[in-house]
Amino acid sequence: MMEVFEAMRFSAKLFLLGALLLLWGSAAEARMVSIDRDTVNIRSGPSTNYSVKWEVGRGFPLKIIASKGSWYKVRDFENDEGWVYAPLTSRKAHLVVKKPVINIRSGPGTNFRIVTQAKYGVVFRTEKRVKGWVRVRHESGVTGWVARRLLWGW
């Protein structure tokens, strides 16, 4: 009877370990990066021998969906996919505007005054997060708060 109990405990531990590995693997594949150069090519495959699909600028956020050697397969906020050379990326959190026009406010809520607006595709550095709001900084120096649901990235 004791051997059956020990076998069941071992099976349960193995199951939990497998589940944790699956969760960890999913989390690792869902990593985000941002572009760390003024302009970087997104390519159709994992080397400079592949064609350039599009270019992105500094801070542009990308979701890593796979990797091969020193290259990341990435997806952007429009669900376009391509490959970027990993050393040209950073772990600095950035966000991109995913709506036609958004308000940038002086504080984290709709009761705060509008400082300025930003258009679709504008990239911001993430500074702080507070209950569904994000404090952002544009490369021009403009800072303010934006509702998180209006942005894509991290």
pLDDT tens digits along 93-141: 999 999 999 999 999 999 999 999 999 999 999 999 999 999 999 999 9
Length of the chain: 154
Range of the domain at 65: 31-92
> Quick one: 115 and 99 in the same domain?
yes
| 90: its two tokens | 């950073």
Where a domain ends, among 44, 65, 92?
92
| 91: its two tokens | 């772990």
Specify whether the CB–CB gap between 92 and 143 falls below 8 A.
no
> Quick one: 67 and 108 in the same domain?
no
Beta bridge partners, 101, equal 119
| Number of domains composing the chain | 3
pTM of the model: 0.79
> Quick one: 20 and 64 in the same domain?
no
